[in-house]
Structure 1
Amino acid sequence: MTEPEQRWRPIRLMPAFKFAISRAAETSCVQAENMRLALDRPELINHIELARLRLVYQDTARYAQMCREQLSRWRGECVSPEQHALLDQLEQLVEQWIADTRAILDAANALLANA
């Protein structure tokens, strides 16, 4: 699989970026909780779907890392208190997104290993 190309976005797009990250983080949060529950009921999981889920969330992990890099870049460009506050919120969202994505992958790997 080829790595996605990082495209640096101008800081003026931070509000739109927040919207996109919020939705992605929310989805990963829900899926992480589902996977925690699945660890107790592995017989309910289709292994083909688990393998697919693993591929999807491996890509998600790459994109979340790219977002982390974008936020780091913006940190050097922030000029207003509002931008700093929004960037702080975004960094928290991205870190939670990364943690939930990692939890999903760990659970999928555990379930596939025990198959």
Structure 2
Amino acid sequence: MAIPSSKEVFIQGITSAGKTFRPSDWAERLAGVMSSFRPGGVQPGSHLSYSPWCIPKVINGIKCVVVNEKLRDYEPMAWDFVMHFARDNELQVAEACLLPDMPVEKKR
């Protein structure tokens, strides 16, 4: 299996004090604000989907926003916005790489 070359930053919905961040839809709101920052720029209807560089996910029961480092190259101010959001709200941030789901084998 090839090692993924892209890196992501995981903004987790847990504060530095260990509390769940509120409001409960914070991840979707943040990713929605970032929807126009995408490969190829803004397209008609792009506001209707999340950018592939900023995706809300639930990982191990914790709401997160996965921010791809390509966003930093494309628009440094957008990158700064999400990083400052995490810092200002004292959210936990981890650098990692999201691996694709393994295909499920069918039982015979």
TM-score class, shorter: under 0.3
Greater strand content: 2
| Larger radius of gyration between Structure 1 and Structure 2 | 1
Q: TM-score, normalised by structure 1?
A: 0.25
Higher relative contact order (CA 8 A, sep 6+): 1
